[in-house]
Structures are given as C-alpha cells and as structure tokens.
C-alpha cells in the first residue's frame, strides 16, 4: 500500500481526475495549496503598489492505493498533468503501514480497492472498443 501525493497545476485538475477515475482510482482528497518551486516570481500591481508573488497556487491530491494501482496512478497523473513547462508539479510516493475504513472496519487492501488494476484496465479497454465500434 502506498500514499501518493501529487502537487499539480490547478488547470490540470480535471484531466488528472478523469485519468485517475479511468484507471479505477476514485478515492482521493484535494487541497488548494501554495508553494514555491522552479517557477520565477511574478510581479503584480495592486492599488498602485508593486507586489512580488513568491508563491504559486497549486492543487494537492492525495490517494491511498494498493500495490497494483501504484504505477497506473503515477502514469495517469504524469500523462494528464504534464505540460512540459516549469511548475508542472511533483509526485511523492510513500509507504503506508495501515489503512482502516471507518464505516466498515475493513483494513489495509480491503479498505482501499474493491477490484484489481487488471480488472479496471480490461473494463476500460472493453468500453473504449465499444465506443469505437458504435461510431
């Protein structure tokens, strides 16, 4: 089990969410954060004063996933969040010792993912083929 934390551009959130949902990762938390990385500071003018904006608004996404979902989740975030410009963000992957679903008391993998990554990928391929055939 891993905790994946991604810091991304706010305008990439919809694409990242769609990519994660497509692979079956639907349990996630979002936070609006501000940070400073490789971007250059911007200068804005506010009520006649010059203001240096040192921090940039980002979105922090956190998700706990079982082992089969780690690489697909990373690939989904990379594919959907990357613009190729400075400030695209970071992905952090950390081990999780224990997870407990409060509603049911289920623990660890049972508390995370009801189906395997392979099942999700097979379903996605089937749905894509059906949509292509319908066109």
Q: Which tens digits make up the pLDDT trace of 8-32?
A: 999 999 999 999 999 989 889 999 9
Q: State yes or no: pLDDT of 69 exceeds 60.
A: yes
pLDDT (0 to 100) of residue 96: 95
Beta-carbon contacts of 53 under 8 Å, excluding residues fewer than 6 positions away, are 41, 42, 43, 44
Q: Which CATH class, in words, describes the domain spanning 2-134?
A: alpha beta
Q: How many Cα atoms occupy the beta-carbon half-sphere of 65 within 13 Å?
A: 26
Distance CA(58)–CA(61), nearest Å, equals 10
pLDDT (0 to 100) of residue 118: 63
Q: What is the pLDDT of residues 73-98, one digit of tens each?
A: 999 999 999 999 988 999 999 999 99
Considering only CA atoms, give the Rg of the chain: 18
| More confident call, 11 vs 109 | 11
pLDDT (0 to 100) of residue 117: 56
Distance CA(6)–CA(63), nearest Å, equals 9
Q: How far is CA 99 from CA 4, 46, 88, 104, 113, in A?
A: 14, 46, 29, 12, 11
pLDDT (0 to 100) of residue 55: 83
């Amino acid at each position: 089990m891993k905790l994946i934390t991604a810091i991304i551009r706010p305008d990439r959130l919809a694409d990242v969410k769609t990519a994660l949902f497509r692979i079956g990762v639907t349990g996630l938390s979002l936070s609006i954060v501000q940070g400073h990385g490789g971007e250059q500071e911007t200068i804005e003018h506010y009520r006649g004063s010059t203001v240096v904006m040192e921090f940039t608004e980002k979105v922090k996404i956190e998700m706990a996933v079982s082992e089969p979902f780690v690489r697909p989740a990373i690939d989904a975030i990379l594919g959907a969040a990357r613009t190729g410009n400075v400030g695209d963000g970071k992905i952090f992957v950390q081990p999780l010792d224990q997870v407990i679903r409060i509603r049911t008391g289920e623990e660890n993998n049972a508390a995370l993912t009801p189906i395997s990554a392979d099942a999700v990928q097979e379903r996605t391929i089937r749905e894509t083929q059906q949509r292509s055939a319908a066109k």
